[in-house]
Structure 1
Amino acid sequence: MKVILAGATGAAGSQILRDLVSDPAVESITVLGRRALPSWLSSALPNNDKTTTMVVDDFLNYPADLRLKLTEHDACIWALGTSSNGMSEKAYTEVTYDYVVSAIQALEGVKNRPANKPFRFVLISGEGADPNEKSMMMFGRIKGRTERFLSELPPESRIQAHSLRPGFFYPTWKEAAGNIPSWTPTRRRIASIMGPITSGSWRLAIPVTDLSRFSIEAAKGKWGDDAMFSNYNMRKLLNEK
């Protein structure tokens, strides 16, 4: 299986990348990013020759050669995102919704895939996402809009989308927890406190290692064609398998 990964330097994406590299069923990984992988992440990966980073200057505009390359893959795990704190609705919408719409448009070539072998697009969304956009939280409205867009993709697109709604999660390996640039000391302290408090609740939290495993198996089609998986459902399914 050939997989695209967006958001590899985030708390979820960095774990997903590590696990993709270690998965023998994954033949190749194309990381989409604005620059090469940072040393804190590349040095933490198992030795491998199946990871390629493709620099995307503008996530709203994919050149023709990159579009062609993307259609050679079987799935995409979209872990690219940011906190809505301090952002305008316009800026947050661009990163959260517009980037996903642009990526789907860039994957137009996958419509030539057989109907029984759809391209799987796995979105790391979040608990609180509201596809009806009635939420008082900007996060909920825009994440929900993105989920609704993906759920309404027509069958002829040959894209089967899955939105995953994790609750609280945080990196469990030292290199990521200490070096993710977007994580402030305050955020790390909150994670160290909230992790032990919420870890036992299937509705409130999911270990990032479990979120990674669920995402990768969703990309393989293990969980069927459901459009959305809550934090509880992810933990339940993982516990059953």
Structure 2
Amino acid sequence: MKLVVAGSTGFLAGEIIRQALSNPTITSVVALGRRPAPEPQNAGPSADASKLKSVILENFDTEYSESVKKELSGADACIWTIAITPSQYRSFPWEQVVKVCRDYALRGVETISQLPRDGQGKPFRFVYVSGNNAERDPNKKPMILGDYCLMRGEAEARILEYASKSNGTVEACIAKPGVINGPGKESTLFKRAFFSLIGVPKIHVSEISAALLSQVVNGFEKDTLMSEDLSRIGQKVLAEKK
């Protein structure tokens, strides 16, 4: 399997890549981002760093260059982690937030899924990492981060719609984790209290990474995976590895 990880220098993407290098089913990992993706630290004794290829796309706004398309061709799956998070989005113009969180992903799934690939008999699998409180129904606008949650929900709906109209050539899954914790990402007391107050669950980065890799390799359990689903799947995968 050839896997594309978009947003390759981010916290979640780094752990996905680290685990993917030790997964024998995944034969190639393309780290797609604006900057070179470093080889993960502590990759483990079974990791094969030769599987990793860093591909730089300086501008996700425009049509992908032929050289980038060539590197992405043959991909069987993509895990899309590019986003401006809720804690960061007020530092950017709203138009930029929408572009990064919604438009980049839509262009990504449309572009990569239409590239030539060997496994034509199998669907291209695309995972969009969204958020626990993203809302697809405009009539159910959340009181907290309402516009942001509706925008992420719109992205979810459009990606699922794209897959549903692909005549089986594309399968899409929306991952809706809560707060992702892990080494170097421990929440402050204030953040823990705030997220607990608004009912946002926590998940460890190793769990969600294991869950997403399992889903792209073995097929999607369902088209929307909530944080509790991701924890359950990830914990099972990690336990089996031990």
TM over 0.5: yes
AA in 2 matched with 1:152: E
Superposed counterparts of 1:6-25, under 5 Å: 6-25=6-25
Is residue 2:127 matched to residue 1:131? no
Distance 2:206 2:83 in 1: 18
> Which region of structure 1 is more displaced relative to structure 2, 126-135 or 109-118?
109-118
AA in 1 matched with 2:37: L
TM-score by length of 1: 0.80
- Offset at 1:162? 0.5
SS in 2 for 1:49: helix
Superposed counterparts of 1:201-220, under 5 Å: 204-220=201-217
Distance 2:170 2:182 in 1: 29
Distance 2:29 2:117 in 1: 21
SS in 1 for 2:3: strand
TM-score by length of 2: 0.79
Which residue among 106, 109, 115 is the counterpart of 2:111? Answer: 106
1:161/1:31 CA distance change after superposition, 3 Å: same
Distance 2:202 2:215 in 1: 19
1:189/1:237 CA distance change after superposition, 3 Å: closer
Distance 1:191 1:170 in 2: 13
Gaps of 5+ in 1: 178-186
AA in 1 matched with 2:215: A
| Residue pair 2:177, 2:226 contacting (<8 A) in 1 also | yes
- Offset at 1:10? 1.7
Gaps of 5+ in 2: 238-242
- Offset at 1:132? 2.1
**Which residue pairs with 1:233 in the alignment?**
229
**Which residue pairs with 2:80 in the alignment?**
78
| Residue pair 2:78, 2:127 contacting (<8 A) in 1 also | yes
AA in 1 matched with 2:55: M
Distance 1:220 1:152 in 2: 22
| Residue pair 2:132, 2:200 contacting (<8 A) in 1 also | no
AA in 2 matched with 1:147: E
**Which residue pairs with 2:65 in the alignment?**
63
Is residue 2:165 matched to residue 1:163? no
Deviant stretches of 4+, over 6 Å: 111-115
| Residue pair 1:12, 1:171 contacting (<8 A) in 2 also | no
| Residue pair 1:74, 1:120 contacting (<8 A) in 2 also | yes
Counting aligned pairs with the same residue, the percent is: 21
| Residue pair 1:112, 1:158 contacting (<8 A) in 2 also | no
Q: Which structure would you say has the larger RCO, counting Cα contacts within 8 Å and 6 or more residues apart?
A: 1
SS in 2 for 1:54: strand
Is residue 2:54 matched to residue 1:53? yes
Which residue among 118, 123, 133 is the counterpart of 1:118? Answer: 123
| Residue pair 2:22, 2:48 contacting (<8 A) in 1 also | no
- Offset at 1:123? 1.3
CA displacement 1:144-190 (0-9 Å, x = unmatched): 11100111011337111101000111223xxxx2xxxxxxxxx7552
AA in 2 matched with 1:131: R
Distance 1:111 1:132 in 2: 35
